[in-house]
Amino acid sequence: AQKVTQAQTEISVVEKEDVTLDCVYETRDTTYYLFWYKQPPSGELVFLIRRNSFDEQNEISGRYSWNFQKSTSSFNFTITASQVVDSAVYFCALRRGGGYNKLIFGAGTRLAVHP
Amino acid sequence: DTAVSQTPKYLVTQMGNDKSIKCEQNLGHDTMYWYKQDSKKFLKIMFSYNNKELIINETVPNRFSPKSPDKAHLNLHINSLELGDSAVYFCASSQSTGELFFGEGSRLTVL
């Protein structure tokens, strides 16, 4: 069975703090894809990143970075020097390989960044 | 141009009514989806179509009927609306195993 767990329901930080959002996944597939999406208060779902299971390199994009570790089945997301505009619900998601199209989402982590 | 657009953005209706939500994508993707987001923000897939063919049909009441007239459109019709149908419905599209691109969501409120 495929499952994504985001154990942190809500995180509250002060601006400029670094924050890490945890994501743990379960799958028996050797080929799979992991995603992060952002849902700001305006409600749209914004794609942030996609990784395939064969690419364990960490990725950095500006203040955002992702740490993919197959050994612990984790795909954590770190925001460095957080800003108020980072306040949103963040979703981690998993998709099986082999042509399966379903994206399975975690329950989301609500991040509140205070000035 | 909006990549994935869905209409209407807001629907307020009475229990027992029938309503439709339309979705169109101009990305040339071959797969489209409907997701439901409940009040706790949980996102759950309802349906997926690949080139107009239904490929995913999760445990959804048969009051919900998707229709895909072509691969750029996926509509959702809901019969006999119930209070529990109140949610935000998201349309999305993707190409193969790529990321999903979501519409802005349609907030349905059933009174």
- pLDDT of A100 reads 63
Do the Cβ atoms of B104 and A35 come within 8 Å? no
Higher pLDDT residue, B58 or A17? Answer: A17
Contacts of B88 in chain A (CB under 8 A): 43
Predicted confidence at residue B1, as pLDDT, reads: 65
Question: What are the tens digits of pLDDT across the range B65-99?
Answer: 999 999 999 999 999 999 999 999 999 999 876 88
Instruction: Give Cβ neighbours of residue B71 (< 8 Å, ≥ 6 apart).
Output: B29, B30, B32, B49, B51, B52
What backbone torsions phi and psi does residue B99 show, to the nearest 5 degrees? -70, 155
Distances in Å between the alpha carbon of B20 and those of A6, A21, B23, B92? 33, 36, 10, 16
Contact A102 B97 (CB under 8 A): no
What φ, ψ does residue B17 adopt, rounded to 5°? -75, 170
Residue A107, min C-alpha distance to chain B (Å): 5
B54-73 pLDDT, tens digit per residue, is 888 887 899 999 999 999 99
What band does B32 get if pLDDT is binned at 50, 70 and 90? very high
* Cα-based angle A66, A69, A74 (whole degrees, multiple of 5): 75
Confidence tier at B51 by pLDDT (50, 70, 90): confident
Across A90-109, average pLDDT: 89
Amino acid in position A87: S
pLDDT (mean) for A37-48: 96
Return the pLDDT at B60. Answer: 87
Looking at residue B58, its pLDDT comes to: 86
